Amino acid sequence: MGDDVLSPSIKALFESDDPVGSEARLWTELRSGGTPLIETCPDDPRTRLVTFLWKADRPVERVTVNETVSGLPPHRRSLLPVPGTATWFLTWRIRADVRTTYSFEVADASGTERVPDPYARVREPHDFAAQMARGVPPLESVLVCPDAEPLSWTDRRPDVPRGTVTEGVYDDGRKVWTYIPAGHDEPGAPLGVLVVLDGYAGHSASTVLDNLHAEGLIPPTAALFVQNGDRGKELSCNPEWSRHLAEDLLPWARRRHPLTEDPAATVITGRSLGGLCAAYTGLKHPDVFGGVLMLSGSAWWDPDTLRAYLCLADPASNPADTVVGARSRTPALIDEFRRADRVPIRIYQEVGAFETGPPPATPGQIHASRHLRDVLALKGYDHRYREFAGGHDETWWRSRLGDGLIWLRGDGADA
């Protein structure tokens, strides 16, 4: 590995006459300042040398970093040991404005374990991790480069009144948690509605809404956090599930809370497959949902492409005479918008500039998202499209929800 991609601190460790003592001094500094190690790149002010570090407390066979921006195969994400020490490292040149969640996979004789960085200077509670966790979810490690855009809507502010969240059980046994903004517990004027897919009781959208309400950036808005079921079935352009959200779930919620029936004040949002479902549902039910907020929505998704990928991945279902070179179809959501007449909905779409996957996607996420953007523009939709300096990553989605709500629901919010 050349010196141009070797951290000066790690180079000094390699060259030390006392690697054990030098390692101890390095980790004393890292425990105080946090990791990864971020150093200037002398020949390019737009990048940084970022070094992911792991200090082994037992014999390990392999350490790999998982992140959302590189798209590299596992062998290109493997850390190397520094001889004579317990330190493993991987140094990359990374754009100075990048923000990404990351973790480590540590393999030893007993197996492989995914772990957060114990010394990460930035740690966040993420919604999907909380849904999957039994007990207290782990805090996710986040790399924030020096020029990364600040994200603030999800920071809990001690002086901001908190809304209330109550649990309800919908007719099919599914849980739905309802957020009511502070000061609106008693019956009054109908509230705007935000339907949040992949919901749960502690969803970060509650904090976002608290902060937006406190600053007067959106009208009073309730939220329905809808418990997920079979995501692959429900959220993938499923007409019955979208009908269910529009014609069953919202009337059920309105019987319990003072919620508006105005489509212009009713927004549906989701992340990843949830973003795909939000856009599809808005297209099919514009008389109910006048606003769509897509966060890294899976615009690449197509059932035929997915089936072909799964077939190729399963030797038992992949005959020897499989034809190679089949053409990819236009992804399902893009084709739906292309063929349909324009409907009266507003769409806020954000995606990571480095979202080149996932593996079944042809085209990749970023390219499909740009294709959808272009179709919406040609159709004449009231539409906002943005790209952030990251990947398929919840660290961005949590705060970008606030930006989307300001544009969709804020007064004159066309900034």
Residue pLDDT, tens place only, 85-109: 999 999 999 999 999 999 999 999 9
Determine the pLDDT at residue 360: 66
> Which tokens is 247 given?
């014609």
Tell me the longest C-alpha to C-alpha distance in the chain. Answer: 74
Please give the average per-residue pLDDT across 154-166, as a whole number: 95
Per-position DSSP letters for 250-289, written without gaps between them: HHHHHTTS-B---GGGEEEEEETHHHHHHHHHHHH-TTT-
On whether residue 132 sits in a domain, the answer given is: yes
For residue 13, what pLDDT band results from cuts at 50, 70 and 90? Answer: very high
Determine the pLDDT at residue 323: 60
CATH number of the domain bearing residue 359: 3.40.50.1820
> Which tokens is 277 given?
């479902």
> Which tokens is 294 given?
């897509």
Determine the pLDDT at residue 312: 55
On whether residue 196 sits in a domain, the answer given is: yes
In this structure, the answer to whether residues 81 and 175 fall within a common structural domain is: no
What pTM, to 2 d.p., does this model score?
Answer: 0.92
In this structure, the answer to whether residues 194 and 224 fall within a common structural domain is: yes
In this structure, the answer to whether residues 268 and 235 fall within a common structural domain is: yes
In this structure, the answer to whether residues 268 and 359 fall within a common structural domain is: yes
- The continuous run of DSSP H or E covering 405 comes out as helix 394-409
Per the omega criterion (within 30 degrees of 0), is the bond before 116 cis? no
On whether residue 153 sits in a domain, the answer given is: no
Q: Give the structural domain span for 247.
A: 164-409
Residue 359 CA to residue 322 CA, distance in Å, equals 19
Least confident of 87-91, 133-137, 193-197: 133-137
3-state secondary structure of 94: strand
Determine the pLDDT at residue 359: 67
In this structure, the answer to whether residues 85 and 189 fall within a common structural domain is: no
Other Cβ atoms within 10 Å of 337 Cβ, number: 21
* Residue 183 confidence (pLDDT) above 70: yes
> Which tokens is 152 given?
């603030």
For residue 326, what pLDDT band results from cuts at 50, 70 and 90? Answer: low
* Beta strands at 87-95 and 80-81: parallel, antiparallel or unpaired: antiparallel
Determine the pLDDT at residue 414: 41
User: How many percent of the chain have pLDDT more than 70?
Assistant: 92
* Residue 132 confidence (pLDDT) above 90: no
Residue 89 CA to residue 78 CA, distance in Å, equals 8
Residue 114 CA to residue 117 CA, distance in Å, equals 10
In this structure, the answer to whether residues 228 and 134 fall within a common structural domain is: no
75 exposed, middle or buried (CB, 10 Å; 0-12, 13-18, 19+)?
exposed
What is the tally of structural domains in the chain? 2
On whether residue 74 sits in a domain, the answer given is: yes
In this structure, the answer to whether residues 137 and 172 fall within a common structural domain is: no
On whether residue 154 sits in a domain, the answer given is: no
